[in-house]
Chains A and B, each alone.
Chain A
């Protein structure tokens, strides 16, 4: 039996930060109530945040959620 294909979630947080006066990871972390290391992990696709934190990020940048995160369903 083969391995179940995995879905992927990517994000545009790094680009959005630079488009918002080069906001630092620490500034974003303080705005959404997590640590800078968590923002770094989200940006590096090492951690998928809760829905609440995802919405907080979108609110900080003033864009819809799908402009921040992109979901790729499993292929096949």
Chain B
């Protein structure tokens, strides 16, 4: 197998994030459109999404170990993770600025909270995508 254990783990994390939080945003989006403004109403849904994500990561990590050697992280894995994080962190900054701007114009808290959560979600997704790109393309 030509993928390292760390690369397989990145795939697992990305798929788990995409499935769990992706579904959360689809459902939460429909709740927002329906006018549910109480933030507490989203807590059970978010809790389920996090539990599903953790379960997917656990199952995926076992599968990643079964599929090949479980080597320790080496310098290339660390460098790829650092570079991907550096190139994806701007999305969090954009989310925070958008969140502050939304608060200034008195957008309801529930929208601001989801805007911030969305920026974190997208930043993590971009980080994983960049890691996979760097593993394949090199740098």
Query: Which of B30-38, B52-60, B68-76 forms part of the interface with chain A?
Result: B68-76
Alpha-carbon separation in the docked complex, A46 to B3 (Å): 14
Identify which of residues 10-69 in chain B touch chain A, using a CB-to-CB cut-off of 8 Å: 69
Name which residue of chain B comes closest to A41, CB basis: B138
Q: A41 CA to B80 CA in the complex, in Å?
A: 13
Given A37-B4, A40-B2, decide whether A46 and B138 contact each other with a Cβ distance below 8 A.
yes
Does A35 contact B138, Cβ atoms closer than 8 Å? no
Report the interface size for chain B: residues with CB under 8 A from the other chain: 16
A37 and B7: CB pair below 8 A? Answer: yes
**Are A49 and B137 in contact, with the CB atoms below 8 A?**
no
Residue contact A34 to B2, C-beta cutoff 8 Å = no
User: In whole angstroms, what is the CA distance A46 to B138 when docked?
Assistant: 5
Query: Taking the nearest CB of chain B, how far is it from the CB of A66, in angstroms?
Result: 21
Q: Are B74 and A34 in contact (CB under 8 A)?
A: yes
Residue among A37, A49, A50 facing the most chain B CB atoms (10 A cut-off): A37
How long is the Cα–Cα vector from A46 to B134 in the complex, in angstroms? 9
Question: Which chain A residues in 23-72 approach chain B with CB under 8 Å?
Answer: 33-38, 40-41, 44-47, 49-50, 53
Write the chain A residue with the least CB distance to B138: A46
Cβ of B76 to closest chain A Cβ, rounded Å: 4
Given contacts A35-B71, A47-B138, A47-B139, contact A41 B76 (CB under 8 A): yes
List A residues at the B interface (Cβ < 8 Å). 33-38, 40-41, 44-47, 49-50, 53
**Given A36-B69, A44-B138, A45-B138, 15 more pairs with CB closer than 8 A:** A34-B74, A34-B75, A35-B4, A35-B6, A35-B71, A36-B71, A37-B2, A37-B76, A38-B74, A38-B75, A38-B76, A47-B138, A47-B139, A49-B76, A53-B75
